[in-house]
Amino acid sequence: MSPLRASRRRLAAVSTVAVATLFATSACGGGGESDSKGAGLNAGVKKVANASDKKGGTLKFVGVQDAQSWDTSRMYYGFEFSFARFYSRQLVSYTPAPGQKSVELKPDLAKDMAKISDDGKTYEYTLKDGLKWEDGKPITSQDVKYGIERQWAQKTISGGPVYVRDAIDPKKKYKGPYEEPEGIDAIETPDDKTIIFHLPKRNGDFEQMLAMATNSPVRKDKDKKSKYGLKPFSSGPYKFQSYTPNKSLTLVRNKHWSRKTDPLRKGLPDKVQVTLLTNADERDKRLINGDADLDLNQRGMDSQGRTTALKQHKDNVDNPETGFISYVVFPQNVKPFENIHCRKAVIYGTDHKSVQTARGGPMAGGKLATNMLPPSIPGYDEKDDQYGIAKNGGKADVAKAKEELKKCGKPNGFKTRLAVRNTDKADVKSSEAVQASLKKIGIDVEIDQFDGSQGTSIVGNPDVVKKKQYGLILYGWGPDFPSGQGYGRALWHSDAILDNGNNNMGMIDDEKIDKGLDEAVAELDPKKAADKYAQVNHDVMEGAYYLPLTYMKVVQWRSSRLTNVYAADAYSGWYDFVNIGVK
């Protein structure tokens, strides 16, 4: 997902023991007045908190990071994908249910799931009757096609995932709707209700791709290109009323949306409001005081707010596991990280336990990560611990780190720069822990904080990364859809390297990894595909392209006012925003 496909969690000045103690204390019954109002500790984990179909009220979000864009073609953060369901629909989407139940695909704009033919290379859909845009005009198959074709227009609207583009047109022959308005032949629309996709080769996850917000319809006459994200045109239950970047966003009901055509979205509140701040402590105060209902960014609470919530308001807390990994990636276009031994020196020299503590310990930060597949993804292998991270209890292996420094020709260490988002305190704290670890083996790390909402044009731009000499980039990532392809292809495949909006920040161009990914993608048997992704993951770690930190977990606030709250695996363990209501 996402910088998210990648963005998530929070500060961490509380030690593992302290957090565990707080959790135990809260579970024994102490708390403030909100204890009697909340649905209960983990009431929204693997079940629905306050199930209800009551309509009305205003759902209030607060966040510390704006979207990189509200244009569905350009978004890549996990919270953007979930929020986009308020105003966008897709041919197929996920089941509105908690936990693992959510990952089953259902028809959305389409009447049924695809009619698949030609050995898995042709997908045909028929649209439902009565689908309307926010101005009452019908949503057509041409609108769906045009919205998808915008993925090809990377020169103008970069930033979002391009899975469907790569599946349909791997050689990138089509130039996009702005340069070739006649459209791509591989997507047919023989009439207003029918759309047919022709793939050059099989892809076992094609319908998973189509469920992403990236594949929402866009009406050609409403496309403002690079400015479309300021006021997207709605096909969903809500529409934009107002938006001031980095300050506020308000959605109101789309009167032309009908629940009869959309059983996947409840559309309960009358209004959805977003307030954007710059201070995470202030965000947590507003949540606890009842001035806001949910964290927009779904990163979990900071240490101070987390402490208060666990002690006094445990019934308003969920502690879901996410599908995200916090990690450091080594851009190979920045010296000395073209050298595998320099990369291995950093992996061995990092005190993973101190990073975990910086993120809030096992509960708030997650367990130690040993490889680059999340536990929720088929193919994850807990035993794949090539650098002894779990075996050593997360402690740095200084001896091996120094051996690798000698092999990379830097026996006395070297200087480098680490890029980290200033919008995520947990990431900043993690970077400081990495910095302190590496100093002990002679690697001098300068930390440079950047605006997280501008990540696609900073760390997502290889030329900028090289110019700024970012040898280390601390980031987070979750699956764009729940498979090895949905998690790893954008990070690991050489075809995924982009001039802007790049997520293969390690600049991995490895023939073995490319081949393994391609074979896994074409495999229609889920078990065989999982085995292939396990091998690719092993190869990625063997190449020392990443320093995995933690499999992320968060302490999430859930307002007492809310109904229908649940963490969904389809959205990496975060809340399914569009089905939440207000009492």
Q: Indicate which CATH number applies to the domain containing 129.
A: 3.40.190.10
HEC string of 242-305 equals EEECCCEEEEEECCCCCHHHCCCCCCCCCEEEEEECCCHHHHHHHHHHCCCCEECCCCCCCHHH
146 within a domain of the structure (yes/no): yes
User: How many Cβ atoms sit within 10 Å of the Cβ of residue 118?
Assistant: 10
What CATH number has the domain bearing residue 361?
A: 3.10.105.10
Are 343 and 199 within one domain?
A: no
Distance CA 42, CA 581 (A): 18
Res 423 pLDDT > 90: no
- Is the distance from CB of 322 to CB of 554 less than 8 angstroms? yes
Three-class secondary structure of residue 25 per DSSP: helix
Give me the chain's average pLDDT, please.
92
41 within a domain of the structure (yes/no): no
Q: How far is CA 450 from the centre of its chain?
A: 19
Which residue bears the tokens 């996850």?
Answer: 205
- Is the distance from CB of 215 to CB of 209 less than 8 angstroms? yes
471 within a domain of the structure (yes/no): yes
Per-residue burial over 36-63, b = 16 or more CB atoms within 10 Å of its CB, e = otherwise: eebbbbbbbbebbbbeeeeeebebbbbb
Q: What mean pLDDT comes out for the span 416-435?
A: 94
pLDDT tens for 449-507 read 999 888 989 999 999 999 999 999 999 998 988 899 999 999 999 999 999 999 999 99
Are 203 and 336 within one domain?
A: no
523 within a domain of the structure (yes/no): yes
| Helix axis angle, 425-439 to 340-349, nearest 10° | 100
Q: For residue 9, what pLDDT band results from cuts at 50, 70 and 90?
A: very low
Give the model's pLDDT for residue 20.
39
Which residues constitute the domain of residue 403?
A: 322-553
* Last residue in a domain, options 226, 250, 280: 226
* Last residue in a domain, options 170, 192, 226: 226
pTM over 0.85: no
Are 387 and 497 within one domain?
A: yes
Three-class secondary structure of residue 195 per DSSP: strand
Res 281 pLDDT > 80: yes
Task: Please name the helix (run of DSSP H) or strand (run of DSSP E) that holds residue 4, with its range, or none.
Answer: strand 2-6
Distance CA 418, CA 577 (A): 33
N- to C-terminal Cα distance for the chain?
Answer: 31
* Last residue in a domain, options 226, 261, 279: 226
Q: What mean pLDDT comes out for the span 522-545?
A: 94
The number of domains in the chain is 2
329 within a domain of the structure (yes/no): yes
Q: Please report, to the nearest 10 degrees, the dihedral formed by the alpha carbons of residues 320, 527, 542, 443 taken in order.
A: -10
Q: What mean pLDDT comes out for the span 516-542?
A: 94
Rg (CA), the chain: 23
User: By C-alpha distance, which of 568, 555, 571 is closest to 288?
Assistant: 555
Lookup: tokens for 249: 């966003």
Q: For residue 378, what pLDDT band results from cuts at 50, 70 and 90?
A: confident
Give the model's pLDDT for residue 30.
33
DSSP β-bridge partners for residue 581: 563
Distance CA 574, CA 400 (A): 38
DSSP 73: T
User: By C-alpha distance, which of 63, 77, 126, 11 is closest to 365?
Assistant: 11
